[in-house]
Amino acid sequence: MTVQWDGARNFSFIKTCCVMEHEVYQLFSEIQATHWWFVARRRIIADVLQRYLTTSKPLRIAEIGCGTGAMLPVLSQFGEAWGIDNSPEAVKLCAQKKFAHVYLDSDSAWRQTQFEGMAFFDVIEHVPEDAAVMKNYLAQLQPGGWVIITVPAFMFLWSEHDVLNQHYRRYHAAQLRRTISTTGLQLERISYFNTWLFPAIALTRLATKTLRAFTGSTNQNGHTNLRTDFDRNLSFLNRPLQTLFASERFALRYFSFPFGTSLLALARKPLGVEPSKEQMPIPHLRESRRAFSSFGSSLKFIASRFNFLHSARSCVGDSAVNSPRTPLEGGIGEAASLLHFTAMACQPHLASASSPTSLIESRA
């Protein structure tokens, strides 16, 4: 996916060959109702929004990059959900599911509407100029309106799933904060999520990278061996994984996670000059930071052992200095990086999470 300036004032999404592989869109459409990742993410986001959008007034909410409509039912709980996407295939699939108010990005009709909420669910990682694209859409957001954003986290988790979905990047918290600040939004809450499963996912991706070093990314017929994460679902694990992932919504009511495979942020469009609000610490945040810090220190020690082993493997003999890294050496290096980044994420650098004051109430 690329971004093109149309010569006037709007950025628009255009396709180079296709925005996402047709097969990936079709797969997403088929599994979004039952796959553990989609179901759990919907529950987590719905729970977060219910704690912030404490208003009886129906809201008009636009989901930018709605894809095949997995999140539209969640947004519909809070008012009138609109879906915007640049793929005719995605819009067609949404129409087949009887979703109302789904438009192509190029359709000028939806741009005549002002919205009280806007959502970017795993969208901005698909474009090279994330802040510029967001600014374009935020012009349709009313002052005081809220924005929710989710993105994949940590570049060291980059995998063939990111390649097939044409991602430009995975984010860390500071990077997402900078992007939000650049758009002029006021950050209200930021947290990693999909944390309980983080160790298993990280180790699986490390193992896959090591395996690809031996097997390559194409088979004997020249076809790709790459697969998305959603193509690896085991039916007997679907319910346990769904329950485990979705249970993070209870923890997110009290503190923000310092690491995970995804990031979630809530922000709002300023009304103007407003007095600064004193940030109120949420319950048990100090204890959680202390525990994560201790865990991070332990991981740092383990990472130092991996780094020592990696150095020993890479620097044995003069002839090994300039030789290419073997898959084993690469695997050890990846493990050291994984442990290092996880340890750093566990340090007490969390932004103080404010109490879940209603974004809508604060507009009054």
In the chain, what are the domains?
2-283+355-363 (3.40.50.150)
- For the cut 70, the answer to whether the pLDDT of residue 265 exceeds it is yes
Angle between helices 22-31 and 88-96 (to 10 degrees): 20
Per-chain mean pLDDT for the chain: 76
**In sequence order, what E strands does the chain have?**
2-5, 11-14, 59-64, 79-85, 102-104, 115-121, 141-152, 186-193, 262-268
What are 346-362's pLDDT values in tens digits?
Answer: 554 444 344 444 333 33
| CB contact set of 209 (below 8 Å; sequence gap of 6+) | 159, 330, 331, 334
Helix H or strand E segment including 300: helix 285-314
216, pLDDT greater than 90? no
Helix (H) or strand (E) holding 46: helix 36-52
Q: Which residues contact 41 (CB under 8 A, 6 or more apart)?
A: 150, 245, 262
Q: What is the CA radius of gyration of the chain?
A: 22
The C-alpha atoms of residue 226 and residue 333 are separated, in whole angstroms, by 22
Query: What confidence score (pLDDT) does residue 271 get?
Result: 87
Highest averaged pLDDT of the listed ranges 103-112, 186-195, 201-210, 290-299: 186-195
- Among 195, 129, 131, 127, smallest CA distance to 157 is for 195
pLDDT above 90 covers a percentage of the chain that reads 45
| Predicted confidence band of residue 294 (pLDDT cuts 50, 70, 90) | low
Q: How confident is the model at residue 97 (pLDDT cuts 50, 70, 90)?
A: confident
- Residue 125 or 329, more confident: 125
At which residue do the structure tokens 């929710």 appear?
A: 148
> What's the pLDDT score for residue 295?
54
Mean pLDDT value of segment 137-166: 91
Q: Which residue has better confidence, 332 or 236?
A: 236
Closest by Cα among 172, 195, 190, 188 to 248: 195
> Which of the pair, 308 or 17, is modelled with greater confidence?
308
For residues 303 and 340, the answer to whether their CB atoms sit within 8 Å is: yes
Which span out of 4-18, 60-74, 271-285 was modeled with the highest average pLDDT?
A: 60-74
* Contact present, 344 and 299 (Cβ < 8 Å): no
Which whole number is the average pLDDT over 101-125? 93
pLDDT of residue 325: 53
Q: How many CB atoms lie within 10 A of CB 76?
A: 15
- Can you give the pTM of this predicted structure? 0.71
Amino acid identity, residue 355? S
